[in-house]
Amino acid sequence: MKKMADICRAEQAVSVQLARSEEEAEALRTARRAALSALARLKPTTILEDATVPRSEIAKMVKAINEIAEKYQVKICTFGHAGDGNLHPTCPTDARNREEMEQVERAFEEIFAKAIELGGTITGEHGVGVMKAPYLEWKLGPAGIAAMKAVKQALDPNNIMNPGKVFAKSTRKRVVVTR
pTM of the predicted model over 0.75: yes
Tell me which architecture the domain covering 37-126 has in CATH. Answer: 2-Layer Sandwich (3.30)
Distance (Å, rounded) from C-alpha 69 to C-alpha 104?
8
Running along the chain, 179 residues long, what does each successive block of 10 average in pLDDT? 85 86 93 88 93 94 97 95 90 95 95 97 86 87 93 95 80 54
Domain assignments of the chain as residue spans, ordered by start: 37-126, 128-178
Per-residue CA distances from 2 to 32, 61, 73, 74, 160 (Å): 20, 23, 35, 34, 54
Give tens-digit pLDDT for 90-123. Answer: 999 999 999 999 999 999 999 999 999 999 999 9
